[in-house]
């Protein structure tokens, strides 16, 4: 599978969908990864780190969305990204759709397969992708 990682464009969002270590694991398991140039800078990962892990670098988000079968992001798609999603393309990110009617409509209109981190459950009904965020939030609140 060709997995794409665009740079996050939401205001004050500095995280990146995949770290170079995650890219290395995906490549090791036979996937291709395409990372938008400078996507990792906010998290202190240079393009060279991604290339060393086996990723290819794309010049812009449009190239990532056009090529990738699956898009991995941190935050919900922003208005500028709505038109880049396409039918059957998988989007894996935090979505929080209850508060984001416009995002919900854009995903439906695009025909994308959207998987929200916050809805992924383990076999016991737990939320393994939310657990780390909840732990951080709990520690920060003190």
Strands (DSSP E) found in the chain:
2-5, 32-36, 56-58, 70-72, 90-93, 113-116
- Tell me what the mean pLDDT of segment 18-42 comes to: 98
Structural domain boundaries in the chain: 2-141
Measured over the CA atoms of residue 91, residue 17, residue 77 and residue 94, the dihedral's sign is positive
Q: Looking at per-residue confidence, does 131 or 82 come out higher?
A: 82
Residue 131, pLDDT > 90, answer no
- Tell me what the mean pLDDT of segment 85-102 comes to: 92
5 alpha-carbon distance from chain centroid: 6
Confidence band of 99 (pLDDT split at 50, 70, 90)? confident
Q: What is the assigned CATH class of domain 2-141?
A: alpha beta
Q: From the CB of residue 49, how many other CB atoms can be counted at a distance below 10 Å?
A: 17
pTM over 0.85: yes
Secondary structure of the chain: what % helix, strand, coil (to 5)?
40, 15, 40
β-partners of residue 71 are: 4, 91
């Amino acid at each position: 599978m060709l997995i794409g990682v665009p740079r996050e464009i939401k205001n004050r969002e500095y995280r990146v969908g995949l770290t170079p270590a995650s890219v290395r694991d995906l490549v090791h398991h036979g996937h291709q990864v395409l990372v938008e140039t400078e996507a990792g800078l906010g998290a202190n990962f240079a393009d060279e780190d991604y290339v060393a892990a086996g990723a290819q670098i794309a010049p812009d988000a449009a190239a990532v969305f056009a090529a990738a079968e699956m898009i991995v992001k941190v935050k919900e798609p922003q208005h500028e990204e709505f038109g880049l999603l396409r039918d059957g393309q998988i989007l894996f990110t935090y979505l929080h759709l209850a508060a984001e009617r416009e995002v919900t409509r854009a995903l439906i209109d695009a025909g994308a397969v959207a998987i929200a981190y916050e809805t992924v459950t383990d076999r016991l009904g737990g939320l393994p992708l939310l657990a780390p965020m909840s732990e951080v939030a709990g520690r920060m609140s003190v």
